[in-house]
Amino acid sequence: MRVGIMGGTFDPVHVGHLRTAEEAYEELGLEQVMFIPSSDPPHKPGLVVLEFEHRWRMLQLAIAGNPRFVLSDIERRMPGKSYTVNTLRALRKEFPDRELFFLVGLDAFLEIDTWFRFVEIFRLARIAVLRRPGYGESDLEQVLSRKVFDGYRKDPETGAFVHPEMLPVHYLGNAPLEVSSTRIRQLAAEGRSIRYLVPPEVMGYINEKKLYVNAGGIEERRCQTR
């Protein structure tokens, strides 16, 4: 089974996440896309992150009715910070018969050499790099050659970047939507509409629970550093 892995804080999940996952599902011939909300995100130091339970519930509402999408609490069940390499190790152990495709935005991929034990990630899963506004394939190639491993070459038949020792890296043709969780939180804090940026069920949950908003704007919560 070919499974796409989409991790993140999802604070909140939005239509960009969902559309990207749908396009990756089709382009890579996946049988499933697994959404994994971070429990203790190491790349969010100093930033406020909504409690896991709220982010989990919003994801449940967002993917309900789509049999292609599933939700995993694996990072919630793992101790310590939510490092990608540890999550992928755990998934390989839990699902040894599945072929994993780790979905990551090109903007984040540019800094993959700063990730914890990043080299091992290229051995645990195929990496599917998602297009982002303002970036292109040449940026991906520079990361591979300068920050990762000199030896990745583009396969003219498949279009993937292949290496004799590492798993392939794919550059997807998804539409690079300019939707961000940061912007959605800002709009919610200002009392402005977030309609069409998040699924209706998620918008209803945010309004019902009064998430992100208090008398002073964005609600201050203890940051979960990653």
Contacts of the segment 58-64: beta carbons below 8 A, 24+ positions apart: 58/10, 58/12, 58/13, 58/198, 58/202, 58/205, 58/206, 59/10, 59/13, 59/35, 61/199, 61/201, 61/202, 61/205, 62/13, 62/17, 62/18, 62/198, 62/199, 62/201, 62/202, 63/18, 63/35, 64/201
Q: In this predicted model, what pLDDT tens digit does every residue of 68-122 receive, in sequence order?
A: 999 999 999 998 888 999 999 999 999 999 999 999 999 999 999 999 999 999 9
The pair of structure tokens assigned to 30 is 């996946």
- Contact of 112 with 147, CB cutoff 8 Å: yes
Which pLDDT does position 220 carry in this prediction? 33
Domains in the chain (CATH in brackets) are: 2-209 (3.40.50.620)
- Contact of 125 with 102, CB cutoff 8 Å: yes
3-state SS track over 68-86: CEEECCHHHHCCCCCCHHH
Which pLDDT does position 223 carry in this prediction? 29
Instruction: Output the tens digit of pLDDT for each of the chain's 226 residues.
Output: 999 999 999 999 999 999 999 999 999 999 999 999 998 888 655 667 899 999 999 999 999 989 999 999 999 999 888 899 999 999 999 999 999 999 999 999 999 999 999 999 999 999 999 999 999 999 999 999 988 888 899 999 999 999 999 999 999 999 999 999 999 999 999 999 999 999 999 999 999 999 998 633 333 333 222 2
Q: How far apart are CA 10 and CA 133, in angstroms?
A: 19
Which pLDDT does position 123 carry in this prediction? 96
The pair of structure tokens assigned to 222 is 């203890």
| Residue from 48, 63, 44 nearest 186 by CA | 48
Coil, strand or helix at 171: strand
- Contact of 170 with 130, CB cutoff 8 Å: no
* Dihedral-angle region of residue 46 (phi above 0 means left; psi in -120 to 50 means alpha; beta otherwise): left
Q: How far apart are CA 170 and CA 126, in angstroms?
A: 8
| Residue from 25, 16, 32 nearest 132 by CA | 16
Which pLDDT does position 44 carry in this prediction? 57
Which pLDDT does position 45 carry in this prediction? 57
What is each CA distance from 82 to 8, 11, 78, 96, 125, in whole angstroms? 10, 15, 8, 21, 17
Q: How far apart are CA 189 and CA 191, in angstroms?
A: 5
